[in-house]
């Protein structure tokens, strides 16, 4: 008798858990689905536009000139001659290939989201080909910058970042919940489905698409969270605490400084506010004179030290107590992101960070972020992410259609989320509560939205 009672209790708690996850999955789809849809659509637009942007700005990015490149100092002088105001030079990207232009970049508060402006110079003839705002390590131009900020914040400023964090916080939970529901109710043989209703066939296809996208859903959710405001800060704190930091060169020429530094893998999606802050501070009295003349020497030292990627960036120091930084910026495969610090007063390398020596976790983070942005494997990466993004949008629309067809009619009742939770076993209640509290503190935006879910759920329960 006790065995039968235990079996019934176990079955009841199992059904309660199934109902709990079903209702949570429904709430995520109903309330968070639109945010996930917008994030997926704008992310897909970002991924498919590199070639479009290169076509739109072809006259700025390329040149027909053939011959030997002029010294960087002369290219910088040509760029400065086109400025209408006194702007701070913060980086130079030499032309990577024959037929490409050199980017001479300046801090400019009038440049919109990026806060940086590039003068594009023909390295052979010194002709200025264009003047455009640029953004991030990828150096995206106005078209993709706008799409990028739509994806991150809906062009609403810092407040808009809550939308993308909300989507990323719930996406992996929705994926795990969907996997559980498929496991409990979706693994049926074809004969059973053949006799079922059209709605259940649609649900089965919903499961199948979700299963195909499962790994991608978890991947983009986790990598997306690292860019977020609240959860991203928590992730950074944990990474620093356990030593999962990405090495970077030390630009401090003080011998007592530690050589190990931490770099930011999210430079592609971060603005240049740090450069604004740096420019606003009053520099020490001792500064480089004729700083433009040092670029060629620093570049040669970096090349001799093994910085051999075609795509690189030179960031000067305005003072003699800081080293210059020369960084490879090719994020495709194989990844070339080595960097060196160069003392411009002695033309010697003082620090270096080679990707080959990075810890495996730092490499995985680098590759994960680049894959999320669609740059790691070039066109193949773009195709995969485009198919993924459109499939996710389709699955969300499909889910709404399923709900609309079977939406509750007036006067009908449905089992609320909390009611299902009350039917869990004591152990299940403790576990789910602890997990919920841990996630709410780790992912604050998710925690606040879950609180809203519960308020809605309590309201529905009391009405019924």
Distance between CA atoms of residues 435 and 417, nearest Å: 16
Count other C-beta atoms under 10 Å from residue 51's C-beta.
10
- The pLDDT of residue 39 is 97
pLDDT band per the 50, 70, 90 thresholds, residue 202: low
- The pLDDT of residue 270 is 53
- The pLDDT of residue 420 is 87
pLDDT above 70 coverage of the chain, percent = 85
Q: Is residue 31 pLDDT above 80, yes or no?
A: yes
Q: Is residue 300 pLDDT above 70, yes or no?
A: yes
| Greater model confidence, 287 or 326 | 326
Q: Is residue 189 pLDDT above 60, yes or no?
A: no
Beta bridge partners of residue 247, listed in sequence order: 262
Least confident range of 297-301, 388-392, 422-426? 422-426
pLDDT digits (tens, 9 = 90+) for 406-447: 776 655 556 788 888 999 999 999 999 999 999 999 999 999
Q: Is residue 403 pLDDT above 90, yes or no?
A: no
Distance between CA atoms of residues 121 and 79, nearest Å: 7
Average of per-residue pLDDT across 27-54:
96
- The pLDDT of residue 413 is 59
CA dihedral over 228, 230, 235, 236, signed as positive or negative? positive
Distance between CA atoms of residues 81 and 329, nearest Å: 27
Which has the closest alpha carbon to 338: 349, 350, 327, 325?
A: 327
- The pLDDT of residue 330 is 95
- The pLDDT of residue 200 is 67
Q: Is residue 45 pLDDT above 90, yes or no?
A: yes
Average of per-residue pLDDT across 122-139:
95
Contact predicate 114/152, CB 8 Å: no
pLDDT digits (tens, 9 = 90+) for 235-256: 999 998 888 889 999 999 975 5
SS3 of residue 91 by DSSP: strand
Of all helices (H) and strands (E), which one includes residue 278?
Answer: helix 273-280
Cis (ω within 30 of 0) for the bond into 267? no
Average of per-residue pLDDT across 168-197:
75
DSSP of 418-451 = HHHHHTS-HHHHHHHHHHHHHHHHHSHHHHHHHH
pLDDT band per the 50, 70, 90 thresholds, residue 194: very low
Least confident range of 38-52, 160-174, 287-301, 371-385? 287-301
Using alpha carbons only, how large is the chain's radius of gyration in Å? 27
Q: Is residue 276 pLDDT above 90, yes or no?
A: no
pLDDT digits (tens, 9 = 90+) for 330-352: 999 999 999 999 999 999 999 99
- The pLDDT of residue 434 is 97
* Mean per-residue pLDDT over the chain, rounded: 87
pTM of the model: 0.88
Q: Is residue 279 pLDDT above 80, yes or no?
A: no
pLDDT digits (tens, 9 = 90+) for 89-122: 999 999 999 999 999 999 999 888 888 999 999 9
pLDDT band per the 50, 70, 90 thresholds, residue 267: low
Least confident range of 48-57, 248-257, 277-286? 277-286
Average of per-residue pLDDT across 362-388:
96
């Amino acid at each position: 008798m006790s065995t039968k009672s235990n079996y019934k209790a176990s079955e009841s708690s199992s059904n309660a858990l199934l109902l709990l996850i079903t209702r949570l999955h429904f709430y995520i789809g109903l309330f968070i689905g639109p945010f996930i849809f917008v994030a997926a659509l704008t992310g897909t637009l970002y991924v498919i536009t590199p070639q479009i942007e290169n076509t739109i700005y072809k006259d700025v990015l390329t040149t027909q000139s053939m011959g030997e490149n002029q010294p960087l100092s002369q290219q910088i002088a040509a760029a400065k001659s086109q400025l209408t105001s006194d702007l701070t030079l913060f980086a130079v990207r030499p032309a990577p290939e024959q037929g490409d232009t050199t980017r001479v970049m300046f801090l400019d508060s009038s440049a919109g989201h990026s806060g940086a402006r590039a003068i594009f110079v023909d390295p052979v003839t010194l002709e200025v080909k264009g003047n455009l705002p640029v953004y991030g390590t990828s150096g995206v131009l106005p078209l993709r910058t706008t799409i990028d900020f739509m994806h991150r914040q809906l062009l609403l400023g810092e407040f808009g970042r809550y939308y993308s964090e909300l989507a990323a916080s719930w996406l992996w939970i929705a994926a795990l919940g969907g996997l559980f529901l498929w496991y409990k109710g979706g693994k049926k043989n074809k004969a059973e489905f053949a006799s079922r209703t059209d709605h259940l066939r649609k649900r089965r296809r919903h499961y199948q698409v979700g299963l195909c996208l499962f790994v991608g859903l978890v991947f983009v959710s986790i990598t997306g969270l690292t860019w977020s405001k609240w959860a991203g800060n928590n992730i950074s704190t944990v990474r620093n605490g356990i030593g999962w930091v990405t090495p970077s060169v030390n630009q401090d020429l003080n011998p007592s400084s530690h050589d190990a530094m931490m770099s930011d893998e999210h430079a592609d999606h971060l603005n240049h506010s740090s450069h604004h802050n740096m420019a606003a501070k009053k520099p020490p009295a001792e500064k480089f004179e004729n700083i433009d003349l040092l670029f060629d020497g620093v570049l040669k030292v970096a090349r001799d030290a093994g910085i051999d990627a075609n795509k690189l960036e030179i960031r000067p120091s305005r003072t003699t107590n800081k080293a210059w930084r020369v960084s490879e910026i090719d994020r495709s495969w194989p990844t070339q992101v080595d960097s060196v610090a160069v003392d411009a007063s002695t033309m010697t390398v003082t620090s270096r960070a080679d990707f080959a020596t990075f810890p495996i976790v730092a490499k995985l983070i680098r590759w994960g972020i680049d894959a999320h942005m669609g740059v790691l494997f070039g066109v193949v990466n773009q195709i995969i992410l485009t198919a993924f993004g459109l499939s996710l949008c389709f699955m969300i629309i499909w889910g709404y259609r399923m709900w609309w067809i079977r939406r509750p009619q007036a006067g009908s009742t449905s089992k609320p989320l909390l009611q299902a939770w009350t039917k869990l076993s004591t152990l299940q209640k403790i576990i789910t509560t602890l997990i919920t509290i841990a996630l709410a503190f780790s992912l604050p935006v998710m925690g606040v939205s879950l609180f809203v879910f519960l308020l809605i759920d309590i309201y529905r329960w009391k009405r019924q």
